[in-house]
Homo-oligomer: A and B are copies of this chain.
Amino acid sequence: MRRADIENVRKKALTDAAIQAVGAQGSMDVTMADIAARAGVSAALAHHYFGSKQDLMTASVRALLADLRTDAIAALGNARSPRGRLSAIIQVSFSAKQFSSETVAAWLAFYVEAQRNPGLSRLLGIYGRRLHSNLVSGLRPMVGEWEAARIAEGTAAMIDGLYIRKALGSAGRRADPVQLVEDHIETQIASVRRFA
């Protein structure tokens, strides 16, 4: 294998391991040694490739984001209408992969860390704006720019809230997250149209 290839393989293994470790632990308070061990390499190598723990974490979030983006693009590509695009976004957000306990826990941990880490904050801001813009682009044709923005904000909040509840494994969750969000959107759209 060429040197550049090895580097990519190692980097991928390390970011995967980092996400896994953070997800398992529920916070970014994991050791480089733990992450490296999950990737089957030494902690020193992780430093060699990423420079610091911080940089490895940032790269990991970027990977998470890229993954989500890929899924979203694929789902949106199949949508045949603005309303379909909304459903596609929701489906992806709660898909088995994105809504797995580990991934959700990792998201939450990164969110928390972002409060102190501008780089991370900026990165997660991208995700937030992308979600918002996707929601708005589905809603706009149906309710107009202004209402679309308002509904998107409530919807995004609900999605985030469902994520945090998933992460905490709150007992008593009965309703399907997709149903909950779809219902919110549907009801909001209907309400706007009734009074428009």
Contacts and interface: CB of A to CB of B under 8 A. Distances in A.
Interface of A: 25-27, 29, 105, 108-109, 111-116, 121, 124-125, 128-129, 132, 149-150, 153-154, 156-165, 167-175, 180, 183-184, 187-188, 190-191
Contacts of A125: 170-171
Quick one: copies of this chain in the complex? Answer: 4
Contacts of A167: 111-112, 115
Given A156-B161, A161-B162, A168 B114 contact: yes
A183 B161 contact: no
A150 B184 CA distance: 11
Interface of A, secondary structure class, is: helix
A180 B154 contact: yes
- Scoring A115, A116, A157, A159 by chain B CB atoms within 10 A of each residue's CB, the highest score goes to A157
Contacts of A129: 172
Nearest to A180: B154
A149 B23 CA distance: 30
Contact of A27 (B112, B150, B158, B173): B112
A149 B113 CA distance: 33
A157 B165 contact: yes
Contacts of A190: 191
A4 to B, nearest CB: 16
Nearest to A129: B172
A153 B168 contact: no
A153 B132 contact: no
Contacts of A163: 161
Contacts of A26: 112-113, 115-116
A174 B149 contact: yes
A44 to B, nearest CB: 14
A150 B181 CA distance: 11
